[in-house]
Chains A and B, each alone.
Chain A
Amino acid sequence: MAGKKIIYHCYGGAHSSVVAAAIHLGQLRVDKVPASKELMALTLFDKQTKEGHGRLHFFGFDEYGDEVYSVGCRNVGYSVTKFLTKIKEILNAGDEMIFIDTLHCVNLKMRIGGYISRRLGMVKIGRPIVLRGTREAYFELVKLVQQVKEGSFA
């Protein structure tokens, strides 16, 4: 049975979108901030490279049978979602596609840490910063995912 395709997107596809997808699929708890080890155990968390930007990464099926993806769209997230939506219409492809921008949940530490780790390649400096930032922003991401599940973003 075909479900919706839920696509979380952010700048680099390495932090907020990955965490949101994991929360959606129940890989992270919604009542407790995960430890850094739990975040690092997520596929792609602080591992995405710029060659991966634009690629939709499949995370799994949620309890409703919807497919959950994450993608990094750099600073063209809105245009990419519009572009893909139009292409889906042209191709008459089936299932509904929902794009959720997780960038508004990203705080300064995530931006700085993510930039240092991913862009500059200074992982030892950037990663602890982005981990701390992600843990601080965690419940914002939980709230976002709950809104998605309730259908507020449909």
Chain B
Amino acid sequence: MNYIYLGVGDLYLPSVAAAVHLKKIDEYLPPDSAKLFTIECFRHGEKCDEGALHYIDSDEHGNKVFVSCAKGQLDVFVRAVQSLLGVYRIPVKDIKVIPCEPENPQAVGICKALRSLGLWQAESALASKLAYNCFSSLVKKVERPTD
């Protein structure tokens, strides 16, 4: 099975969700800023990242975990993938797209604004705060197959 964690505008939240899935961070303990920036792909999203799939690793069951991002409309992506599976007659369980949207989507825009102003440290601080605050909801979103 393939899991794709899909973020809005950046890869911060999907990369944290992927790290929880792969047990690279403790799901019971929200990571601090230093730990967050060691997570693979914990960064802002570039234009080339929109719709692109970044392979992170495989979990203990051999399921592949990817992250991606889009500028918005995540429901369109989810439905498009479900449709694609139907078109190719591929079982639904072969791929799962999990949206990782923040509760306050304005934070994504603020991160982008800080970055465009060259305030990298402020952007990093906000991204860490966002990931920390959303951590419990991300843990709930993480999907793992049952044995």
* Interface residues, chain A, with chain B CB atoms under 8 Å away: 5, 53-56, 58, 67, 69, 71-76, 78-84, 86-88, 90-91, 93-95
Contacts and interface: CB of A to CB of B under 8 A. Distances in A.
Give the size range of B's interface with the partner. 20 to 34
B79 A55 contact: yes
A86 B52 CA distance: 7
B95 interface: yes
A69 B87 contact: yes
Contacts of A93: 84, 88, 90
The 7 A-B pairs at the shortest CB distance, nearest first, are namely: A54-B79, A82-B51, A79-B51, A54-B76, A56-B83, A83-B51, A54-B80
Q: Which of B52, B71, B79 has the most CB of A within 10 A?
A: B79
Given A83-B68, A93-B90, A76 B73 contact: yes
Given A56-B87, A69-B87, A83 B72 contact: no
Interface string B78-103: 11111110111010001100000000
Given A53-B79, A90-B2, A91-B95, A79 B88 contact: no
B105 to A, nearest CB: 15
B87 to A, nearest CB: 6
A5 B80 CA distance: 14
Interface string B107-138: 00000000000000000000000000000000
